[in-house]
Amino acid sequence: MDMPALPLAAPKRPRGRPRKTHAEIDDGNRRRDLLNSAARLFRRKGFDATTTRDIAAAVGMHSGSPFYHFESKGALLAAVMEEGMRTAIERQRTALEAAGDRIPASQRLRVLVRNHFDVLLGPGSDFIPVMLYEARSLTPKQRRVITDLQSEYEAAWVPVLQQLVTVGKLKGDVKLARLLIFGALNWSAQWYDRRKGASLDELTDAALALFIRC
């Protein structure tokens, strides 16, 4: 007597997220290339003077190809700023975690300042300077997104400054101190030349000497 044929087992589904296709990987890489090139050009030439043709040429694209990834040059500008801030937040979080919770407030401020200089002046540092000097070109909706990210980034500084006030190493109002410190640090993006100037460690030492009592 013939046995009935057993049903074929359904193929197992791979666990986790499905693997990206080569097209999806390439698409992500092209988007990254556009962000990097746009950040570099926006910083060097300014947003108004940079054309989408300039950006496309920098990554070997046809002049209209960036619009496949971003609906407008303004949307690309906002993406550059958002990418810069999200990366800065993550790098700051990593730096603070590496430093640990038991270091004194003055040392914690050193970690924050040194990391901020690296974000502003280190390798691949075009993103944040673009945000600092091209925010006027954002729409109100885009500006709100960036402002929220800035607030998240700066929030890590507030308890450190409060502790410094408590121990007498920082005088004055914490909010004003934060604004003045960021104003001083961010201005370095205008004048610092890594080929001729001090190292970022030396820059950090000089900044701390100005901001707090040792």
For residue range 174-206, list pLDDT tens digits in order: 999 999 999 999 999 999 987 777 899 999 999
User: What's the CATH fold of domain 73-211?
Assistant: Tetracycline Repressor; domain 2 (1.10.357)
More confident residue, 92 or 30: 92
pLDDT for 1: 45
pTM of this structure: 0.82
User: How far is residue 51 from each of residues 63, 101, 122, 209, measured CA to CA in Å?
Assistant: 9, 46, 26, 42
Average pLDDT value for residue range 10-15: 50
∠ CA 167-105-207, rounded to 5°: 100
Task: Report domain extents, the chain.
Answer: 73-211
Average pLDDT for the chain: 87
Contacts of 56 (CB under 8 A, 6+ apart): 62, 63, 64, 65, 66
List, in order, residues 6 or more apart from 59 with CB less than 8 Å away: 30, 33, 34, 37
Given a contact cutoff of 8 angstroms between Cβ atoms, the answer to whether 165 and 213 are in contact is no
70: pLDDT strictly greater than 60 = yes
In percent, how much of the chain has pLDDT > 70? 86
**Average pLDDT, stretch 32-55?**
93
Residue 26 has pLDDT above 70, yes or no: no
Sequence-separated contacts (24+) of 130-137 with Cβ below 8 Å: 130/39, 130/42, 130/43, 130/47, 130/77, 130/80, 130/81, 130/84, 131/80, 131/81, 131/84, 131/85, 132/186, 132/189, 134/42, 134/46, 134/47, 134/77, 134/81, 135/81, 137/47, 137/48, 137/74, 137/77
Task: Compare 61 and 157 and report the one with higher pLDDT.
Answer: 157
State pLDDT tens for residues 96-122: 999 998 999 999 999 999 999 999 999
Per-residue pLDDT at 20 exceeds 70 = no
